[in-house]
C-alpha cells in the first residue's frame, strides 16, 4: 500500500502549475520566488540542460530523516508519504544532515521554527483518497499518482516502448533503497543535478548496524569492567594486608566482596 508519484521529465512543459498548487494547498506565500527549496517552497522547477525538473521530497521507503529523528517527529505514514509532527520536533535538525537528497528545510527566521518539506499532501488530500495537488493539476500528464508498483510498471513500459526518448534509468527505483517518488528523464540524471546516492542501500541500516550492537557491547564491557575492578581491588587490598598496613578484619570491613578471597588466603 505504498503510494507515490511518477514524474516524467520528458512530458513536463514547465508551466509551473504544480508549484502554485502546492503553495495554495499548503497555505504558503504565492508570490515568493521559487528558485530553490526553502521553508516556504516545498517544490519548484529547476532549469537544467534545457529541461524543467520538478524538485521535491523523494519520500523514501525507509527514510533517513525519520530514522534519525530522536523524538519521532518525522515519520513515514503507512501509505508512503513521509510526514512531520511539529508538536514533537525539538529542532535538532539532524534530519537535514541525514537526508541524502538534502530536502528538509528550516524556518530560520521564526522564533518557533519548524522543519518544512513536501508531505505529499498527506494531511489535506491523500489521507482522504485524493491525489496530491501537484498531480491533480498537471496539464501535461507529467505527474502520475498511484500505487508505487503500478508506477514502476508504467515507467518500465514507457522505457520499453520509447527507448529513444529516455535514458534507461528510473531514478528512485533503487536510490536510497527505493523512494515513493520516481523520475523518468530524457537526459542523464547526473546532468540534471540529481544527487548521487547509494543504490539498493537503506540509509537507516547504516546507523542501525551500530546501534543494534550496543546492548551486547554494554553487557560485555560491563562484565569486563566489573571483573577488572574486582580483580585489581582485591590485589590492592591483599598487597596492603601483606605489607601489614591492614589487618584481615579491617580488610573485610573495607570491602567485603574483595576481602572474601583475601581473608581465605590469610587463613
CB atoms near residue 224 (< 10 Å): 10
> Which C-beta is closer to another protein: that of 154 or that of 240?
240
- Write down the least CB distance from residue 43 to another protein, Å: 15
Task: Taking the CA atoms of 240, 246, 252 and 256 in sequence, report the sign of the dihedral they define.
Answer: negative
> Which C-beta is closer to another protein: that of 77 or that of 124?
77
Burial label, 168 (beta-carbon count in 10 A; 0-12, 13-18, 19+): exposed
- Write down the least CB distance from residue 169 to another protein, Å: 10
Q: What is the SS3 assignment for 32?
A: coil
> Which C-beta is closer to another protein: that of 101 or that of 122?
101
- Write down the least CB distance from residue 128 to another protein, Å: 27
Strands (E), the chain: 3-8, 44-48, 51-55, 74-76, 82-84, 105-106, 115-116, 143-147, 181-184
Of 204, 199, 238, 173, which is closest to residue 7 (Cα–Cα)?
Answer: 173
> Which C-beta is closer to another protein: that of 160 or that of 235?
235
> Which C-beta is closer to another protein: that of 135 or that of 192?
192
Both ends of the chain: CA-CA distance in Å?
74
Alpha-carbon gap, residue 28 to 255, rounded angstroms? 68
Residue with cell 514533537: 88
> Which C-beta is closer to another protein: that of 11 or that of 75?
75
Alpha-carbon gap, residue 63 to 18, rounded angstroms? 24
- Write down the least CB distance from residue 136 to another protein, Å: 28
> Which C-beta is closer to another protein: that of 218 or that of 249?
218
128, three cell numbers: 482522504
Alpha-carbon gap, residue 203 to 170, rounded angstroms? 19
- Write down the least CB distance from residue 50 to another protein, Å: 4
Residue 59 Rama label (left phi>0; alpha psi -120 to 50; beta) = left
> Which C-beta is closer to another protein: that of 149 or that of 221?
221
Of 86, 96, 8, which is closest to residue 53 (Cα–Cα)?
Answer: 8
- Write down the least CB distance from residue 79 to another protein, Å: 20
- Write down the least CB distance from residue 29 to another protein, Å: 17
- Write down the least CB distance from residue 72 to another protein, Å: 4
Q: What is the SS3 assignment for 118?
A: coil
- Residue numbers of the site for another protein (CB under 8 A)? 36-39, 47-50, 64, 67-73, 88-94, 96-98, 100, 102, 105-106, 108-114, 167, 188, 190-191, 193, 195-198, 203-204, 206-208, 210-211, 214, 217-218, 221-222, 225-226, 228-229, 232-233, 235-236
Amino acid at each position: 500500500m505504498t503510494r507515490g508519484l511518477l514524474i516524467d521529465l520528458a512530458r513536463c512543459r514547465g508551466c509551473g502549475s504544480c508549484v502554485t498548487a502546492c503553495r495554495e494547498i499548503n497555505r504558503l506565500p504565492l508570490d515568493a520566488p521559487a528558485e530553490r527549496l526553502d521553508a516556504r517552497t516545498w517544490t519548484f522547477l529547476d532549469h537544467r540542460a534545457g529541461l524543467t525538473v520538478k524538485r521535491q521530497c523523494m519520500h523514501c521507503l525507509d527514510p533517513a530523516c525519520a530514522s534519525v529523528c530522536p523524538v519521532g517527529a518525522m515519520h513515514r505514514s503507512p501509505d508512503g508519504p513521509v510526514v512531520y509532527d511539529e508538536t514533537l520536533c525539538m529542532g535538532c535538525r539532524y534530519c537535514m544532515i541525514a537526508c541524502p537528497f538534502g530536502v528538509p528545510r528550516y524556518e530560520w527566521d521564526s522564533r518557533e521554527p519548524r522543519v518544512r518539506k513536501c508531505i505529499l499532501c498527506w494531511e489535506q488530500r491523500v489521507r482522504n483518497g485524493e491525489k496530491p495537488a501537484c498531480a491533480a493539476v498537471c496539464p501535461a500528464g507529467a505527474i502520475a499518482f498511484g500505487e508505487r508498483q503500478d508506477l514502476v510498471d508504467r515507467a518500465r513500459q514507457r522505457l520499453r516502448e520509447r527507448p529513444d526518448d529516455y535514458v534507461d534509468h528510473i531514478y528512485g527505483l533503487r536510490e536510497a533503497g527505493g523512494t515513493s517518488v520516481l523520475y523518468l528523464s530524457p537526459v542523464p540524471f547526473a546532468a540534471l543535478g540529481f544527487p548521487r546516492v547509494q543504490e539498493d542501500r537503506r540509509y537507516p541500516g547504516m546507523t542501525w548496524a551500530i546501534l543494534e550492537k550496543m546492548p551486547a557491547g554494554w553487557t560485555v564491557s560491563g562484565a569486563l569492567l566489573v571483573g577488572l575492578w574486582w580483580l585489581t581491588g582485591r590485589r590492592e587490598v591483599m598487597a596492603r594486608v601483606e605489607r601489614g598496613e591492614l589487618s584481615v578484619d579491617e580488610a573485610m570491613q573495607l570491602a567485603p566482596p574483595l576481602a572474601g578471597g583475601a581473608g581465605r588466603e590469610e587463613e
